[in-house]
């Protein structure tokens, strides 16, 4: 044996052994490096040994390679070493254990993307740990619900409701119907609330009615396409804001009422517009609402002109 072997680096010892065969001396040197311990076991010894395995297990990657390519079967020591890295824990479960294991699942769940893959390709079904892990990300939570659970679950529903568009898709594709969480999540603006009422609720609901009141266009569409015309509950909700009370009176009721007038009069601008476009005549309520505002002169001018027209 060459006396210079003792001074070789792991790479050199490995290359030497490839040419001259295995020996305790070269094996001892390569076992200082996980990479070359694995290569030595694969290409020189061509069989597993406790010393090369122990050396390979100092690095998660080579522990996984050793289990897959040399042992050809799972062991507690290689699994433990691989489980220091989430991706390698997943690969170990898929290609070495070829099945689920509490240790690999736990580590894979550190990353929600791997938790989803673990559920799909290793567990091949739902598990509370993977569901909880994927629910840190709304997109993965939706995919988990539709592809793994294949049914709704409070955890995935709560997760997707961070994103309104996913809340709508969850209601449509997974719940296949309305739910208070998805409705609330998708009613952040008038158009979405209208669409939820039309496609999911298929009828009026207090939450969506309240949301559409922020838009004259969708208030009108909701009133006639969802409520099929004037609807007492929606009018009550619209009357919580002067603007929506005005538009409800003008576009839906198409006539004045005490309740919509009173609500509009909480704001001088909408009181003036109510008087002009809905009442179309002087009312003490609207006058009192505008008389101390910048709309006072417009109000007086409008009704003076109206009186002149009537006289003529």
**CB environment 33-58: b (16+ within 10 A), e (fewer):** bbbbbbbbbbebbeebbebbbbbbbe
| 14: pLDDT strictly greater than 90 | yes
H or E, element range at 140: helix 138-144
pLDDT tens by residue, 17-68: 999 999 999 999 999 999 999 999 999 999 999 999 999 999 999 999 999 9
State the pLDDT at residue 305. Answer: 75
Average pLDDT (148-171) is 98
State the pLDDT at residue 80. Answer: 98
pLDDT tens by residue, 245-268: 999 999 999 999 999 999 999 999
Average pLDDT (123-140) is 98
pTM of the model: 0.86
| 108: pLDDT strictly greater than 50 | yes
Average pLDDT (287-309) is 86
pLDDT tens by residue, 188-241: 999 999 999 999 999 999 999 999 999 999 999 999 999 999 999 999 999 999
Percent of the chain having pLDDT more than 70?
Answer: 96
Average pLDDT (126-155) is 98
Q: Quickly list DSSP for 262-275.
A: HHHTTSHHHHHHHI
State the pLDDT at residue 311. Answer: 47
Local structure of residue 83 (DSSP, 8 states): T
Beta carbons of 281 and 264 less than 8 angstroms apart: no
In angstroms, the CA 22 to CA 8 distance is 15
Average pLDDT, whole number, for the chain?
A: 95
pLDDT tens by residue, 281-294: 999 999 999 999 99
Helix, strand, coil abundance in the chain, percent, nearest 5: 75, 0, 25
| 6: pLDDT strictly greater than 90 | no
Query: 259, exposed or middle or buried, with CB in 10 Å at 0-12, 13-18, 19+?
Result: middle
In angstroms, the CA 51 to CA 45 distance is 12
Local structure of residue 132 (DSSP, 8 states): H
Question: If DSSP states are collapsed to H, E and C, what string results for 9-60?
Answer: CHHHHHHHHHHHCCCHHHHHHHCCCHHHHHHHHHHHHCCCCHHHHHHHCCCH
Q: What is the dihedral of CA 121, 122, 123, 124, to 10 degrees?
A: 30
| 124: pLDDT strictly greater than 90 | yes
Q: Which residues contact 137 (CB under 8 A, 6 or more apart)?
A: 112, 113, 159
């Amino acid at each position: 044996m060459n006396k210079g072997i003792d001074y070789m680096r792991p790479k050199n010892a490995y290359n030497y052994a490839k040419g001259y065969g295995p020996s305790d001396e070269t094996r001892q040197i390569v076992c200082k490096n996980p990479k070359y311990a694995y290569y030595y076991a694969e290409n020189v010894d061509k069989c597993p040994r406790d010393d090369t395995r122990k050396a390979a297990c100092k690095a998660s990657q080579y522990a996984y390679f050793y289990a897959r390519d040399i042992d050809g079967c799972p062991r507690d020591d290689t699994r433990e070493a691989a489980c220091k890295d989430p991706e390698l824990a997943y690969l170990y479960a898929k290609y070495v254990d070829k099945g689920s294991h509490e240790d690999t699942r736990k580590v894979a769940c550190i990353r929600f993307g791997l938790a989803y893959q673990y559920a799909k390709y290793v567990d091949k079904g739902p598990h509370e740990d993977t569901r909880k892990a994927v629910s840190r990300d709304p997109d993965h939570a939706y995919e988990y619900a539709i592809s793994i659970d294949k049914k709704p679950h409070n955890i995935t529903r709560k997760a997707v409701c961070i994103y309104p568009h996913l809340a709508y898709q969850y209601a449509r594709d997974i719940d296949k119907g309305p739910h208070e969480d998805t409705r609330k999540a998708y009613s952040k603006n008038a158009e979405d609330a209208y669409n939820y009422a039309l496609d999911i609720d298929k009828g009026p609901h207090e939450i969506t009615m309240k949301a559409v009141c922020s838009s004259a266009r969708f208030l009108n569409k909701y009133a006639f396409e969802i409520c099929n015309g004037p609807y007492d509950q929606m009018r009550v909700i619209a009357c919580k804001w002067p603007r929506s009370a005005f538009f409800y009176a003008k576009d839906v009721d198409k006539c004045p009422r005490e309740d919509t007038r009173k609500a509009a009069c909480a704001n001088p601008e909408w009181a003036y517009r109510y008087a002009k476009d809905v009442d179309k005549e002087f009312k003490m309520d609207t006058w009192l609402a505008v008389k101390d505002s910048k709309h006072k002169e417009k109000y007086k001018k409008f009704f003076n002109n109206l009186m002149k027209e009537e006289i003529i």
